Structure 1
């Protein structure tokens, strides 16, 4: 069986197969580390792991100790995780700033806005897009159908179902 150092040397020589073996050998520990570090679910950790291995492939020539490839990979993963965490914080700060600056229609409390956001998040993505375009952004059903590439009838039913679910989540009725 080839050692990590053997695989690194072969990968540096252009062997995709050798690098693939390194990935197979080290992906579970790197992903496990990222799942524990990010604490945000498997999908995000797996995305960051993929970014880690892409960065490793691009910078394999800079690896000083081929026997220490696992720790090198975890170092890359740590930096990628820090980037992701910083990005999430910036995004949350932008969202918070936008919510603070957004005009709140008279009579809508912060609690109702939060309940609306939570209810929107629970809608299926295509229903949420239809509701956002038609009810929040003022698009006609036809315009939304064109934007989303959905049939007009589908947009109409998504808007109606989405509106009903939002009203229910906010404790209202759908009598309108």
Structure 2
């Protein structure tokens, strides 16, 4: 007996909007929650607890706003835009400034295998480098390079003009390059 195909996002959205179908909404959440959490973990510089809280807030807002989804962009793009806005609202509400003091300490020699040490150091250096980016620069880089979105998709997800996205990418890459040059000379 062939496996039943999962309903498309559009069909699930229609069911939720038409009849407050919580099972359909649950399927949407399960289908997209990993991507949203991964996006938010990148934006929060690896703070898993905060990312999970923001993911929960994202899905609450999505549920409230689902009837407003016009399908101008793909559902995941719309969802990522809401997640990014939730992150930015969190920063504004808390006046949070990510600093190097917020980053985890380097692993001790005994806690990381010798062949994994360079990778662990690079990950730590990347996290520290990402911490100096503005939220907009971090969001642009995560959308384009981590989520592999096109510039047009990322601009739509972030709700900014294409030129603004490209500016954020250029400034962010320049800052990352400057911060990571120290790592490059160590290897």
- Give TM-score scaled by structure 1 length: 0.49
Question: Which structure is larger by alpha-carbon Rg, 1 or 2?
Answer: 1
More helix by share: 1
Structure with greater contact order relative to length (CA < 8 Å, sep ≥ 6): 2
| TM-score normalized by the length of structure 2 | 0.46
